Each structure stands twice: as C-alpha cells, then as structure tokens.
Structure 1
Amino acid sequence: MQRNNEDKVNAEFKRITTINLQSKFFSSLDINSTSLIDVYTKKGGVQGKKIKSIMLPVTQTDSIDVRRECILKGLCVYFNEDPEKLVKEYMSIDNSSQTAMAETVLGIFVIRHEGAEPGDDPENVAIILEGVKVLDDLGNVSFAVAMMFAFEALQKIMMELDGNRLSTKGQVLKTLLSRA
C-alpha cells in the first residue's frame, strides 16, 4: 500500500509539471552537491560551524543517502532554518516521539537504531502532516524530502520551478551554483 502512495505523489507531480519528480530531484541534487559543499565550506560564523558539523558524517561513510541528507540539512542552515524543524530524529517510538509527531505541522521523522552509524539505514522515515503520518517507510531522508517538496530552494533551484522569483539569499545561491 505504501508504494502506491509514493507512486500517486510521483504521478500527480508528473501530471502537473511533466517532470519526473524523483529522477529530476536526485539528479539535480547530485549535480549540485559538489558546488553546494564548496559554498558551505566558505560559509563562516555560526552558520559555517553548524554546517561543518552537519557535514561531518559525509567524511565517515561513502553512502549517497548520507551525503544527500547532509547536503539538504546544510541547505536548511544556509537559509537560516533549523534542520531539526524539518527532520526530527529519534532512537525509538515512545511517548515523547509520539507526542512530537502529534504536534508536528509538517516534518520528517527518522527512527534510528540505538548506536547506529552514519551509513546505517534508519528503522523508519516518515512524513508527518498535521500530526498524521501521510507517508511511511520512505527509506531515507532525501527521498522523504523529494516526496515532501516544501522548500523554496528545492522547488526553485533544484527543480527549476519558478526560478525567477527567488529570495535574495536564494538568488545568491543560484548564482554561486551556476558559476561552479
């Protein structure tokens, strides 16, 4: 049943935009990943330190899923957003995680095994909307972000949708990526 929901999201996106969501999202993310990492390494101050700590798992594993997740979390920080508001991580489903899920307006929940290493697959990745799991067992954070498709940078830069109407910070990032 779960796969059916993902297929419906992909089909609706393609119907509206004529673009294959997953292949476009992941190819654009991968093509821009080196340039984004370059932008991140030049970032100074508190944001730069936070991005460096977010990117640390990339040095510990060759997993493409880890790389994509770190790049997406770094993008949150770059745009002055808290990546923990987008991606909430827990070691198990207990009362505190269930309460947090119920209070979430829009977010991604990741349940990881106790002692999990950066390259280890999570137990579960889900999208929560208005306190309800709308998609479950998504496998990894980057796939969940592709399904959620909520951020301006993802919609306008990665997917090239309405890219002429960017915030100033979004326009600067798009310019930096086009020079790389």
Structure 2
Amino acid sequence: MFHLNCVKTIRHHNANPPFSTFYPSFPTGANLESLEKERLELLTDIRIRNNNRVIADKMAHTFAYRRQEVVNQEPGIKDFKDRWPALFQQKEINAEFQRIMTIPLEEKFMAQLDIHSSQLITVIRAKGGSTSQKTADIMDIFDQDSRTDDLQKEMEELTMAVFVIRKEGEGLQEPLADIGIIIEGVEVLNELPSVASACALLLGLLYALNIAYPKPLHFTFEVLQKIIMQLDQHKMSAKVQSLYGRLQSSE
C-alpha cells in the first residue's frame, strides 16, 4: 500500500506553446537517413551499461533531427518516448534544455530557488486570493491509500503531474518511495532526488517537447519560467509582473 501525492491537471493545453519553435540545421554531412540510423542505434545504446558518453554524443548529434520532429510533427508523449527513450533521463533533459535555451536547467533552477523561495512563499501567503490559489494548485497534495494497480490506473488518467509516493504509515520525515513525472498519462521519469528537481525537469520537458502550459497551472509555470529561470521576463503577464515586483521589494 502506498500514498500517492501529485499535482493533477485536466486534459487541456493552451493552443500556442510559450516556448521556442526554433530548430537548427542538420550537422555538416548529416541527412535524414544518417540521423535516423543514429536514432536507431540509440535504442540499442541505451540498453548497454556505462554507456553514457556514447549516448550523450549521439543525442547531441541528433538534436536538430529530434527538434525538427518535435516542432513539425508534435508527436504524442508515448510515441516520442518510444522513439527517443534516451531523452527521458535526468542528464539528457538538462542537456536538451541547454541546447535549446543555452543556459543550465537544474543548476539555474536550484540557485534561483534558494534566492527566492522564502520571499515567494511569504508574498503569496500575504497576497491571498486568486494568486494564492493559482500558485497553490501545483502544490495541491492529495493522499490516497490504494493498491498498486489502482495507483497505476490513476496515474494514467493524469495529463501532467509531479508525483510523490510514500509507503503507507511512514511520516513526512521518512524517505520517499518514489518521486516522478507523468505527462499525458505516461510516467516519463521516476526515482528523482527531490520534488524541486522534479519541478525543474518537468519545466525542462515542456521546452524539450514543446508542450504548452496546462491552463489551470499557467500562472505557476509562468512563475517558474520567468521569475525562477529568468526567461522571457519582458513578456510577464500583469499578475506575474505584480508578484515579481513584490518579491523585489521584499528582498
């Protein structure tokens, strides 16, 4: 028996992703056939132990091919994960985000979280109202005692989630059984080191997969993108701009 804690959203995405649709040209000497061959090799490479360097090099070399697929074809998560399983690892999500945005993902996220977390919580709690509720949506936790097969079914019904699983009867100070990410009902990552890391990687996956913010969590993801990661700060919504101003004045 386990407790499942997760961020739950409805099955709806914004029509226009807020992220980059840019993709580079293929590497010199590469073409569709050679890059597809390399993609197929990666399916074998990922099964070989201690093969991280080979995987990293091939993932970097096939970036333009993969990015073109994401932007032009908008594949479903399950199909894309089957085609590019190597992407769905902590190191490769960080690498893909850096290729797209030219800044580190988790390193930047954690550093900025250290700077802003206490002020962010204070400001949100003080402001209350809709801002407090919208930000709380991503932190909304529900506990459910259930059999493993019931949990699996519930996970498959989630559009986007950071989930935390605790063994039944264990307190908040006990080690977690699992932390992971679900997108479109597919468990794309598990055994993550922390909830903060999971949130950073979820944001990274939204960029890597060119997925729009879920509408109910638009405010929260905009805070993560524009305040925590300092991306597209000139495009802040009025609500996020107001929150950012309050954070600046509270420092």
TM-score normalised by length of structure 2: 0.53
State yes or no: 1:83 paired with 2:149: no
Structure whose CA Rg is larger: 2
Residue in 2 that maps onto 1:42: 126
Residue in 2 that maps onto 1:109: 163
Aligned to 1:112, the other structure's residue is in SS state strand
Cα separation, partners in 2 of 1:18 and 1:146, compared to 1, 3 Å: same
Aligned to 2:196, the other structure's residue is in SS state helix
Deviation at 1:44, TM superposition (A): 4.2
| Aligned pairs, number | 149
The answer to whether the Cα contact below 8 Å between 1:88 and 1:107 also exists between their aligned partners in 2 is: no
The answer to whether the Cα contact below 8 Å between 2:181 and 2:202 also exists between their aligned partners in 1 is: yes
Match of 2:191 among 137, 150, 172: 137
Deviation at 1:175, TM superposition (A): 0.6
Deviation at 1:43, TM superposition (A): 3.1
Q: Which amino acid aligns with 2:149?
A: N
Cα separation, partners in 2 of 1:135 and 1:90, compared to 1, 3 Å: farther
The answer to whether the Cα contact below 8 Å between 1:89 and 1:109 also exists between their aligned partners in 2 is: no
Distance 2:135 2:163 in 1: 21
Match of 2:223 among 150, 153, 167: 153
Q: Which has the higher contact order (CA 8 A, sep 6+)?
A: 2
Tell me, which stretches of 5 or more residues in structure 2 are unaligned? 1-45, 47-51, 53-85, 207-220
Runs of 4+ in structure 1 off by over 6 angstroms are: none
Q: Which amino acid aligns with 1:83?
A: M
Deviation at 1:81, TM superposition (A): 3.3
The answer to whether the Cα contact below 8 Å between 2:159 and 2:183 also exists between their aligned partners in 1 is: yes
Residue in 2 that maps onto 1:69: none
Tell me, which stretches of 5 or more residues in structure 1 are unaligned? 48-74
Alignment of 1:1-180 (within 5 A): 5-44=89-128, 77-79=133-135, 81=137, 83-84=139-140, 90=144, 94-149=148-203, 151-179=221-249, 180=251
Q: Which amino acid aligns with 1:12?
A: E
The answer to whether the Cα contact below 8 Å between 1:24 and 1:159 also exists between their aligned partners in 2 is: yes
Q: Which amino acid aligns with 1:152?
A: E
TM-score normalised by length of structure 1: 0.71
Q: Which amino acid aligns with 1:134?
A: V
Distance 1:88 1:26 in 2: 25
Cα separation, partners in 2 of 1:91 and 1:20, compared to 1, 3 Å: farther
Distance 2:188 2:116 in 1: 29
Aligned to 2:193, the other structure's residue is in SS state coil
Cα separation, partners in 2 of 1:93 and 1:142, compared to 1, 3 Å: farther
Listed one character per residue, the Cα deviations across residues 57-83 of structure 1 (whole Å, up to 9, x for unaligned) are xxxxxxxxxxxxxxxxxx873547353
Deviation at 1:146, TM superposition (A): 0.5
Cα separation, partners in 2 of 1:105 and 1:44, compared to 1, 3 Å: closer
The answer to whether the Cα contact below 8 Å between 1:89 and 1:111 also exists between their aligned partners in 2 is: no
Aligned to 1:125, the other structure's residue is in SS state strand
